[in-house]
Structure 1
Amino acid sequence: MPQETGPIIKHLLDLGLGYVWFVLLAVWGGTVNYINRRKNDKLPFSIVELVGEWAVSGFAGIITVLICQELGMSVTITAATAGIAGHMGGRSIFLLERYFQHRIGIKGSNGDK
Structure 2
Amino acid sequence: MSLELPIPIAAYVAANARLDIDGMLAPFAADAVLRDNGAVLQGHAELRHLFEEAVVAVRAIFTPDTVRHEDDQVVVEGPAHGDFKGSPIRFTYRFTLENDVIKALEITA
Please state which band the TM-score falls in when normalised by the shorter chain.
under 0.3
Question: Which structure has the larger Rg over C-alpha atoms?
Answer: 1
Structure number with higher strand proportion: 2
Normalised to the residue count of structure 2, the TM-score between the two structures is: 0.25
Normalised to the residue count of structure 1, the TM-score between the two structures is: 0.25
Structure number with higher helix proportion: 1
